[in-house]
Structure 1
Amino acid sequence: MSVVVQVEDLSMTYRAPIRGSGWKETLGSVFHRQYREVPAVQNASFALSAGEIVGFIGPNGAGKTTTMKILSGLLHATSGQVQVLGHTPWQRRSGFLRRIAFIRGSQPVGGSQELTVLDTLRYQALLYEIPAAEYRRNLDELTELLDLGDLLQRQLRALSLGEKMRAGLALSLLYRPEVMFLDEPTLGLDVTGATAMRRFVAQYAEQTAATVLLTSHYMADVASLCPRLVLIDKGKVQYDGKLDALAAKLSPYKLLRLTAPNADEQRLRQAGELVEASNGTWVLRVPRDAVARVTAELLTDLDVVDLSVEEAPLDLVIDRAYREGVG
């Protein structure tokens, strides 16, 4: 697959003013301002291929949003090489901006909040010079996929957060971008809204072969959408690879969930660490390299109605990566 996003030794440093604690220092800083350099991104390198959905994760202040702003052309990098669809993003050429979208969960729809959703979409079509026939076709498709029928005639200011997210997605996808940067796309959404958002992103990427870079603190977003992770911490890329490989590396155990109403608890405790028991369903923590053997023994010894093998919760794996590093 062709590479559509190439990042090499990307660094971004902000200049922050130094302010003294006393009035003399504060007054002096007005005439002789001093600055300190704050590194936000340090020598980050990664590449995205066409059609990939990649999770870009890290703790608060890790450099995720800064990187996305650079990739979408909102910030100029301090150093390094960045190419998105063959363009240098911060040059902000129209041929580049027509092919990418940057969607933030904290601000899904900008502009006048007095406009209706339909008026906003029409204005977007004019800005991006979308041909009339293509506009109507895309609008019809997005209206159906995002269930916008009841929203089109409503003002933006009257929409709930979930409705604004749907409208914001339609606005960003009206011109069919080839690369999407999604910054916390399910922020503030309820379970139903978040599930619908994830389903739509997956459908859009599958149907259009768009490349998606997604940041989220909700591991359900990452687990359901992103086979690959780029983990950044303190501005540096700490891991770039498969999600399941990271789980295998950082979690030495798996969970066996079995339904066996007449099972002997003592026998189960011999098989692994019992972490949950409820109405004949048991959850055991078992060393990864012992899963096959323990599973076979339990199926032989017990009257098992159902059995599944699960990875450790992704939240715990990622938390360990933040605290201890990937190694």
Structure 2
Amino acid sequence: MIEAAHLHKSFKLRKPGPRKGLRSLIGGPTFVKEAVRDVSFTIASGEFTGFIGPNGAGKSTTIKMLSGILHPSSGSVRLGGIDPHRRRVETARTLGVLFGQRTQLWWDLPLRDSFEVLGAMYRMDPQRRRARLAELDGLLRLGEFLDTPVRKLSLGQRMRGDLAAALLHEPPILILDEPTIGLDVSAKRDIRSLLRGINEELGTTILLTTHDMDDIEQLCGRVLVLTDGTLSYDGPIGGLRSRIGMPASIEATYRTLEQAQAAWSALQRLDSASLAAVGLQERTLTVQCSLEQSRFMDVLRKLEAYGELEDARMREADFEDAVQRLYAN
């Protein structure tokens, strides 16, 4: 549904220096900045994909090329088989876009009027527009504030309105840029639930750009990581943890305190890259292990050699820590 092939985007910028304002009028030395370099990926119909990276990595530039706002310096984009730079009208019908820090709603109009204007822009049949709005009302719970001016809506309500605006013309593709920015915990939970419903119930293909790793982990089955303008990872979240080599933690509770202390002492003397004791609290021993080198059950067998286990729980590496480590590399 979304195809990006060898995308490259560079910008010609003026070198900083004294008399910067004068240089912008009469010219001066320039340099070329490569924002995106040879980025390729394909997103299938109905997929919910995360698109992440540090500030300045080229995410916004890539999103603008995908949506037809920017022309790539080289490479190509297809949205449902359409070139967004050559067939802009078809692209507008194929794509819905939501930018968390900008709104496509009319500030002083009631929310309902914004939908009427957007329906006219997309040349929707009035009856179909009303039916579609009823569908979105059931999904996004818009009824309580449809007749409220946009400027009086809460941030969470406005975001729901913007989601409805992006989906009004029934686009098969939705691109979201920071849709939960500035929202409180409750509003974020609501928006995540709504996005999950849009993906599952409407079959919408979604590409989500965000700095909130909870959004990615709770919503996306796949993640693309952009660093320094290049695609450094494309795959499942679990594979990202494995690639970085983040250890998993196992909390093992022994039957007696003496057994836990014996295991702690033995593992402290053990020189192993795949298993290390990192904490002991009463009868519970915490170890870190590499699940690429040892399976969970193999680790448990090693721990049972020091005494009878009453309970054992595994905690995988925190996703945000894995991403930050990838950025650093």
**Cα distance change of structure 1 residues 139 and 14 upon mapping to structure 2, 3 Å threshold:** same
Structure 1 residues 248-257 or 194-203, which shifts more? Answer: 248-257
Deviation at 1:249, TM superposition (A): 1.9
Percentage of identical aligned residues: 31
> C-alpha distance in 2, partners of 1:234/1:220?
23
- TM-score normalised over the length of structure 2: 0.86
User: 1:113 is paired with a residue of what secondary structure?
Assistant: coil
Note the 1:36-55 alignment, pairs <5 A: 36-55=31-50
1:319 aligns with 2:314: no
Which residue identity lines up with residue 304 of structure 1 in the other structure?
A: E
Shift of 1:251: 2.4
* Cross-structure match for 1:11: 8
How far apart are the structure 2 equivalents of 1:100 and 1:240?
Answer: 23
Q: Tell me the equivalent position of 2:271.
A: none
SS in 2 for 1:98: helix
> Equivalent of 1:248, from 234, 242, 250?
242
1:201 aligned residue: 195
1:72 positional shift: 0.8
Deviation, 1:29, is 5.1
State the secondary structure of the residue aligned to 2:148: coil
C-alpha deviation, 1:120, in angstroms: 0.8
Q: 2: distance between equivalents of 1:164 and 1:279?
A: 50
TM norm structure 1: 0.87
Q: Which letter maps to 1:112? A: W
Counterpart amino acid of residue 5 in structure 1? I
Partner of 2:314: 309
Give the count of matched residue pairs. 317
Q: Deviations over 1:46-100 (max 9, x none)?
A: 1111111111111101111111111111111111111111111123522221111
Distance 2:185 2:286 in 1: 25
8 Å CA contact retained: 2:255, 2:308: no
Give the aligned partner of residue 204 of structure 2.
210
CA distance in 1, matches of 2:204, 2:70: 23
Instruction: Look up the equivalent residue of 2:261 and give its one-letter code.
Output: Q
Whether 1:106 aligns to 2:101 is yes
Report if the CA contact (8 A) 1:19-1:29 is conserved: no
Spell out the pairing of 1:1-327 with structure 2 (5 A cutoff).
4-21=1-18, 23=19, 27=22, 30-107=25-102, 109-257=103-251, 265-267=260-262, 269=264, 273=276, 283-288=286-291, 289-290=293-294, 291-296=296-301, 301-302=307-308, 304-305=310-311, 307-324=312-329
Please state whether the residue corresponding to 2:310 is helix, strand or coil.
Answer: coil
Quick check: 2:105–2:165 contact (8 Å CA) kept in 1?
A: no
Per-residue deviation at 1:303?
5.3
Q: Do 1:261 and 1:279's aligned partners in 2 also have CA atoms closer than 8 Å?
A: no
CA contact (8 A) 1:53 1:226 kept: yes
Q: 1:111 to 1:205 in 2, by over 3 A?
A: closer
Contact 1:6 1:46 in 2 (8 A): yes
RMSD: 2.5
Amino acid at match of 1:116: P
**Alignment check: 8 A CA contact 2:249 2:315 kept:** yes
Q: Is the contact between residue 73 and residue 92 of structure 1 (CA under 8 Å) also seen in structure 2? A: no
Amino acid aligned to 2:318:
P
CA distance in 2, matches of 1:197, 1:260: 42
State how far apart, in whole Å, the 2-side matches of 1:278 and 1:176 are. Answer: 55
CA deviations 1:261-292 (Å, max 9, x no partner) are 96554256356656577797765422323332
Mind listing any 5+ residue stretches in structure 2 that lack a counterpart? 268-274
- Cα–Cα, structure 1 residues 92 and 278, in superposed 2: closer, same or farther, change >3 Å? farther
Give the Cα separation in 1 of the matches to 2:209 and 2:229.
14
For 1:134 and 1:277, locate their aligned partners in 2 and report how far apart those are by CA, in whole Å: 63
User: What is the aligned partner in structure 1 of residue 270 from structure 2?
Assistant: none
